[in-house]
A = this chain, B = another copy of it.
Amino acid sequence: MSDPNRPFTDEERAGLYRAIFERRDVRSQFLPDPIPRPVLARLLKAAHHAPSVGFMQPWDFILIDSLDVRQQVLASYHEENAKAANNYSGERQETYRSLKLQGIIESPMNLCITCDRSRGGSHVLGRSSIVEMDLFSTCLAVQNLWLAARAEGIGVGWVSIVDQTKLAGILNLPDNVYPLAYLCLGYVSEFLDQPELQAKGWRSRLPLTELMHGNRWGQPMDDETLLNALKS
């Protein structure tokens, strides 16, 4: 391991920011090419090195290539998505129906990252006040994997339109294990230069300066230097 106290080079730092700013939620651009095992191992190690409350490491990784499993998950997606579409009407519903929101079958691999809520026993350090800290920790593992994938040229799409109880049944999860993230992974034909929902006019990026508060909610963060830097 390199000296952890050596400052990052400009290019190392730029690499991290590229992954952050050029990461996308991929649904439509998956290529069928398999992910080489050494690359997949790097993604999983990245996830496993996420922070976790009390070093609980509540995650497990279910690698899914079975077409049968994927078709069952897809069926739950279709059912949930039909209900979701009915929340909209008119032109908005038309736009909703035109959006492709998953790549379960086209991607060469699906990955479910789960959260074992009983790991580490009944008292996990740092989890006594906020019991959901295990779920939050698992999210941090998802983001590590997502960014590592981007740096490897691999797209990730999070399928959130699925019934978690059905998903747990399909994957045969024990009661204490929650299927936190159902992900599609694969190389892509391209990474879009902006989020697809923005490109399609669904929703725009909020101005960051409007999300800032000073010391308490609703108090202005009146640091002009910082506000200007946030605009650039």
Q: Report which A residues bind B (CB closer than 8 A).
A: 1-2, 4-5, 7-9, 11-23, 25, 37-38, 40-42, 44-46, 48-51, 53-57, 59-66, 69, 80, 83-84, 87-88, 96, 99, 101, 114, 120, 122-123, 125-130, 132-133, 135-136, 139-140, 142-144, 146-148, 151-153, 158, 160-164, 170-174, 177, 180-181, 190-193, 195, 197-198, 202-206, 208, 211-218, 221, 223, 225-226, 229-230, 232
A150 to chain B minimum Cβ distance, whole angstroms, is 8
Known interface pairs A25-B51, A55-B202, A61-B212; 6 further A-B residue pairs with C-beta atoms within 8 A, sorted by A's residue number: A5-B190, A5-B191, A41-B229, A51-B143, A53-B160, A139-B143
Residues of B contacting A204 with CB < 8 Å? 55
A204 to chain B minimum Cβ distance, whole angstroms, is 8
- How far apart are the CA atoms of A211 and B193 in the complex, in Å? 35
Question: How many copies of this chain are found per oligomer?
Answer: 2
A191 to chain B minimum Cβ distance, whole angstroms, is 5
Provide a sorted-by-A list of 24 A–B residue pairs whose CB atoms are within 8 angstroms. Answer: A5-B191, A11-B15, A12-B15, A12-B151, A15-B15, A17-B42, A23-B49, A37-B225, A51-B158, A55-B198, A57-B205, A61-B212, A62-B213, A62-B216, A62-B217, A63-B221, A83-B128, A84-B123, A114-B217, A129-B160, A133-B160, A136-B139, A136-B142, A140-B143
Please tell me if the beta carbons of B129 and A163 are within 8 angstroms of each other in the complex: yes
User: Most B CB atoms within 10 A — which of A59, A126, A204, A225?
Assistant: A126
